[in-house]
Amino acid sequence: MTSIPLIGEAVAVAAEPRLAGAKIGVVTFPGTLDDRDAARAVRLAGATAVPLWHADTELGDVDAVIIPGGFSYGDYLRAGAISRFAPLMTKIIDAANSDAKLPVLGICNGFQILTESHLLPGSMIKNDHLKFICRDQTLRVENANTAWTLDYADGQEIVVPLKNQDGQYIADEKTLDALEAEGRVVFRYVGFNPNGSRRDIAGISNAAGNVVGLMPHPEHAVEVGFGPESLDGIGGSDTDGLGFFTSVLNKIVGGDK
């Protein structure tokens, strides 16, 4: 058998020495699709990606957790509705709510799992146009103080891919008002609301700012040539998503930031 990993296989390879000690767990459920991509993003940001399995009963020694996109359990019931009951999710919920405030990022299906887990408020329903949509999406960073957005500036616009079927963020007015008032709307769609989300909300955080969920995919904007094309066609936005991963690493390691 080969010792060289298959394409995109989630392997733990460390890079930058200062950050290499940081370990970021990437959870795989049956039906998870973007786990290898999230692990790649972690590596490109300079840290070590640790594959986590949904059925694990211990979280192990990780400094942060990413719940990647996909269709866990086929999303046949309601996106994320089954996954929230996975043994590992219990541990993640506890760690996120603990004093240590483990940083957790939920992307797409991961965001759906976080709302189903009540780590984040609201929910996602089918896109208003009822179709799957894949596009390069402009977002505005509304809060650059969360664990996952420290390397951005408030009001900064970034372009990352968006791809989902059930991406319409909804919550009752009171919840939405509270999110706005507390600065917990972290990302907003700019120019075009791709799914009918309330108040153009693309991503939110919990009150402490350690748990962030969003529908678009920053892990697909981390490498030149493989990310979204900048809208002016001259290049430059392929790696707009890398800041998510460097943000949390810098927070974990402390230091420069």
Partner 1 sequence: MTTETTKKFNIDTVEHAAKTPDTELPWAELGLKQNEFDEIVKVLGRRPTGAELAMYSVMWSEHCSYKSSKNHLRQFGEKVTEEMKKDMLVGIGENAGVTNLGDGWAVTFKIESHNSPSFVEPYQGAATGIGGIVRDIISMGARPVAVMDPLRFGAIDHPDTARVMHGAVAGIGGYGNCLGLPNIGGEMVFDSVYQGNPLVNALAVGVMRHEDIRLANASGKGNKVVLFGARTGGDGIGGASVLASESFDDTKPSKRPAVQVGDPFAEKVLIECCLELFKGSLVEGIQDLGAAGISCATSELASNGDGGMEVELTSVLLRDPTLTPGEILMSESQERMMAVVTPENIEAFEAVMDKWAVEYSWLGEVTDTGRLIITWEGEVIVDVDPRTVAHDGPVYDRPFARPEWQDSVQANSFTGSVEDAGRPSAPSELAAAVTELVASPNMCSKDWITNQYDRYVGGNTAMAFPDDAGVVRVDEETGLGVALATDANGRYTYLEPYQGAQLALAEAYRNVATSGAVPMAVSDCLNFGSPEDPDVMWQLAEAIRGLSDACMELGIPVTGGNVSLYNQTGTTPIHPSPVVAVLGKLDDVARRTPSGWREDGQAIYLLGTTAAELDGSEWSNLRGHLGGLPPKVDLAAERQLGEILINASRDGMVDAAHDLSEGGLAAALVESSLRYGVGARIALEELLERDGVDLFTALFSESQARAIVSVPRSEEVRFKDMCTARGFAHLRIGVVDAASAKLEINGVDELSLDALREAHEATLPKYFG
> Which residues of this chain interact with partner 1, rule CB under 8 A?
1-2, 4, 6-8, 30-31, 33-34, 36-37, 40, 70-71, 73-76, 131-135, 161, 163, 165, 217, 219-220, 223, 225-226, 229, 232-235
* 3-class DSSP assignment, residue 135: strand
Among 108, 116, 142, 220, which one carries the catalytic annotation? 108
CB of 161 to partner 1, least distance (A): 5
**What is the b/e burial string over 19-33, where b = at least 16 CB atoms within 10 angstroms of the residue's CB?**
beebbbbbbbbebbb
Residue 28 vs 210, nearer CB to partner 1: 28
CB of 162 to partner 1, least distance (A): 9
CB of 63 to partner 1, least distance (A): 23
Q: At 96, which helix (H) or strand (E)?
A: helix 87-97
- How long is the chain? 257
> Is 217 tagged catalytic?
yes
Residue 5 vs 255, nearer CB to partner 1: 5
Ranges of beta strands (E only) in the chain are 23-28, 48-53, 64-67, 104-107, 123-125, 133-141, 157-164, 168-170, 185-189, 201-205, 211-214
Among 116, 142, 219, 220, which one carries the catalytic annotation? 219
**Catalytic annotation, residues:** 108, 217, 219
